[in-house]
Amino acid sequence: MAKVVETTLRGPEAYGLARRVLDEMEAAGVWPTPVNFELWLHHLGEPEGPLGQEIRRILAAGEPFTEAVSDMLAAEYLPRGRLSEEIRDAGRVLDRELTSVATAIAKAHKNQSEYGQVLAGASADMEGAASPESLRTVVDGLATATRKVQKQNADLEKRLDASTREVARLREHLEQVRRDAMTDALTNLANRKAFDEHLEACVEAAHRDGRDLVLAVVDIDHFKRFNDTWGHQTGDQVIRYVASVLGRLARTPRMAARYGGEEFAVIFPNEDSATVEAALEDVRTEIASRSLRRRSTDDELGAVTISAGHARLARGETAAALLGRADEALYASKHGGRNRVTCAESAQRAAA
């Protein structure tokens, strides 16, 4: 996470910083969108931080700084700040609701004890009532006090209902915020942060329960060529296409995520390598079987192919080590000519 830059700076320095951000973005050929501005602000604050390094890597590799890339970086490096702001807002609303409910309950207590006193007084008055008139006065007084307390109870109930609704709305909103922070905007798959957390949890569960777990990494072949030939918008469509096929494959408890620009990862809990291999082969052939068209010109883009690698969790293995082996299997697919699936364990056995 990048060091927090003084983004709320007020005063002449704020203009200086903003100008530096704009100059550097212009020099790098990056559009001054709000997201890019925020990314660059953090990048300047800590050029050696993970965000700074990733931005430098992208620029050095000559990779285009598309909207999709900005969204990915923002999701990876900026969400916590935004999320915590939303959570702070929600906390404030919750605080207000709780105070209001606490006040209403305190008031209800007071009303009830007043009503108790009225009842006690009425009981004493009744005992001493000498005539039907004085009895009627006592009963009238009681009826008035009862109506008052009934109305107060109804008001309290209304207040509690409103609070319950507000808290439910808040919960839904927070759930949406949480989902957004975990979702890749271009593909609607899980983002890398969500994936990393889920993989850690799955690895832990698989070790604990002694169950199988297979991890696959998938990469679009020659993606840069697509981008360079047809433009970034078409490149983004290709990513969406592959994501849509992977998304169909990865119904719960499987999980597919966009792991990097054109790289995806899929977690297969409780499945063995043979089943995963067959599932990935289906995806590979499905993707390669369709010829895409460029929407703006209807040009034929040709077939998109993917390379994949998968590895089965070994005893005591960490998530990072599993990911490393799945990555190696992916590279074996790339080196073997692309448009193929490699199983890490089979490759290892073949090499032995």
Considering the rule CB under 6 A, would residue 33 count as an interface residue with ligand C2E? no
Structure tokens at 67: 């909207």
Binding segment (CB under 6 A) for ligand C2E, from list 25-33, 118-126, 233-241, 332-340: 233-241
Q: Which of 38, 54, 262, 277 is catalytic?
A: 262
Binding string to ligand C2E for residues 180 to 199, with x set by CB under 6 A, is what? --------------------
36 binds ligand C2E per the rule CB under 6 A = no
Q: Residue 294 interacts with ligand C2E (CB under 6 A)? A: yes
Token reading at 265: 């990862």
Stretch touching ligand C2E by CB under 6 A, among 58-66, 143-151, 169-177, 239-247? 239-247
**CB distance 239 to 262 below 8 Å:** yes
Q: Using an 8 Å Cβ cutoff, are 193 and 1 in contact?
A: no
Closest contact distance (angstroms) between CB of 226 and ligand C2E is 10
Q: Which is nearer to ligand C2E, 202 or 280 (CB)?
A: 280
Closest among 215, 261, 212, 351 to 66, alpha carbons compared? 261
Q: Work out which of 19, 96, 171, 295 binds ligand C2E, going by CB under 6 A.
A: 295
Among 107, 148, 224, 240, binds ligand C2E (CB under 6 A): 240
The Cα–Cα gap between 72 and 55 comes to 11
Count of residues that interact with ligand C2E, criterion CB under 6 A: 9
Q: How many CB atoms lie within 10 A of CB 130?
A: 7
6 Cβ contact partners less than 8 Å away, ≥ 6 residues apart: 17, 45
Among 111, 152, 227, 237, binds ligand C2E (CB under 6 A): 237
State in angstroms the smallest separation of the CB of 157 from ligand C2E.
Answer: 47
**Residue type (1 letter), 139:** V
Q: For 157, left (φ over 0), alpha (ψ -120 to 50), or beta?
A: alpha
Per CB under 6 A, which region of 6-14, 79-87, 145-153, 234-242 contacts ligand C2E?
234-242
| Cβ at position 291, least distance to ligand C2E in Å | 8
Is 127 among the residues known to form the active site? no
Q: What is the DSSP string of 36-47?
A: HHHHHHHHHH-T
Q: Name the helix (H) or strand (E) containing 341.
A: strand 341-343
How far is Cα 274 from Cα 271, in angstroms, rounded to an integer? 8
Give CA angle at 70 (229, 187), nearest 5°.
Answer: 75
Give the nearer residue to ligand C2E in terms of CB position, either 215 or 256.
Answer: 256
DSSP 186: T
Q: Of 105, 111, 106, which is closest to residue 160 (Cα–Cα)?
A: 105
Q: Is the separation of the CB atoms in 182 and 300 below 8 Å?
A: no
Per CB under 6 A, 241 contacts ligand C2E: yes
CB 211 within 8 A of CB 204: no
Residue 293 as a binder of ligand C2E (CB under 6 A): the answer is yes
To the nearest whole angstrom, how small is the minimum distance from the Cβ of residue 230 to ligand C2E?
Answer: 9
The least distance separating ligand C2E from the CB of residue 39, rounded to whole angstroms, comes to 24
Q: Is residue 232 at the binding interface for ligand C2E, with CB under 6 A as the rule?
A: no
Residues labelled catalytic? 262
Contact positions toward ligand C2E, by CB under 6 A?
Answer: 234, 237, 240-241, 244, 292-295
